[in-house]
Amino acid sequence: MNTASSSVFSNIAQKWAARLLDRAGIKINGSNPWDIKVYDDAAYWRVLRNGSLGLGESYMDGLWEVEALDQFFYKLLSARLDEAVKINLGMIPNWILSRFFNPQKKSRAFIIGEKHYDIGNDLYEAMLDSTMNYSCGFWKNAKTIEEAQLAKMDLICRKIGLEKGQTLLDIGGGWGGFANFAAKRYGAKVVMLTVSRQQAELAKIRCHGLDVDVRLQDYRDIGGKFDRIVCIGMLEHVGVKNYRRFMEIAAKRLKNDGLFLLQTIGNNISAYGTDPWVAKYIFPNSMIPSIKQIGQAIENLFIAEDWHNFGADYDKTLMAWFKNLNNAWQSLEKKYSQRFWRMWKYYLMSCAGNFRARRIQLWQIVLSKFGVPGGYQRICE
């Protein structure tokens, strides 16, 4: 493309972007903290051509900036501008992969661990609180991220009626935060699964001396029977083609009088893949389930005793994580590049905007196999 043609296309793309952003109250080179500052006109064409993938990559490359990135995404997503650029070239590979293949099949189970969770425990230790919980906290009576995570873990234990000596399966247990809490505070005998080598190594250290068996193992390989099962923030890596199999395994491993608590990010619509930028840079082979998809997966296997949505709390959680990481970045920047920092900031702030706009949710679902005799007593505080 010659210089004259490039200038014409850039001008068209800029006018298109200005009209679109105006619908959300966002100005190009405006003075509000949510207004976008464009440093290179190439950003317009990249977004027009590749949608969210182009938006994210052009930010990573420093082609544009926003003072309050979380507010930018909140306004953008509240106005549903993402729906105005639904079809673009960046979506095609991810759509084909999710529709015609099974990117979360057993042979690919460890990819998410290698690509996301194994990038460095130092990064996550700086970002998270001392409990090392990498999922939404429960902020109802909390003032700090640590208080919110402790409240979330205690809420889970109370919801499943966890008692001393009971066996507990923790699917996708991360760095052992919940396993440690359940064993130490409630006296549970925990088996914790993760597909991340670095998570497993640190979880073993953090749970040393407790009745916790940390395993580097896919959920499809677990045996035995358990009084209680929890899955906190891991269903997002299972994939729609595997939801039913996942629930069948959980039902098989849960004792007949047991309870299964599932905490997951939830989608307002039934999708078959994830955002192209997120899939490429943050969570490969992942997707967010909908109520319909979960309902179909548990049909004739579980009874939904309780369904609790506190998605607004994820906004606070993400902002707390960003604050922690921003404060610690000087000690990390020698290891992680500036482009990585911009990528990670974009990830945290775009997610915060998504939850703030209520475009995605956070659900805690309590499941039983045959129903709680007399009815389940709801606990939500």
Query: Residue 207 half-sphere exposure, CB side, CA atoms within 13 Å?
Result: 31
Are the C-beta atoms of residues 212 and 146 closer than 8 Å to each other?
A: no
Is residue 347 within 8 A of residue 374, CB to CB? The reply is no
Buried b (16+ CB within 10 A) or exposed e, 273-301: bbbbbbbbbbbbbbbbbbbebbeebbeeb
Q: What torsion do the CA atoms of 173, 355, 280, 216 make, to the nearest 10 degrees?
A: 0
The whole-angstrom distance between residue 279's C-alpha and the CA centroid of its chain comes to 12
Q: Is 351 annotated in the active site?
A: yes
Cβ–Cβ under 8 Å, residues 51 and 19: no
List 157, 207, 231, 351, catalytic entry:
351
The order of strands in the sheet holding 167-171 is: 212-216, 189-194, 167-171, 226-232, 254-267, 360-368, 303-309
Nearest-angstrom CA–CA distance, 76 and 90: 19
Instruction: Give, as one character, the DSSP assignment of residue 114.
Output: I
Instruction: Report d(CA 247, CA 295) in Å as an integer.
Output: 11
Q: Phi then psi for 365, rounded to 5 degrees?
A: -120, 125
What DSSP designation does 72 have?
H
Q: Which residues are part of the catalytic machinery?
A: 351
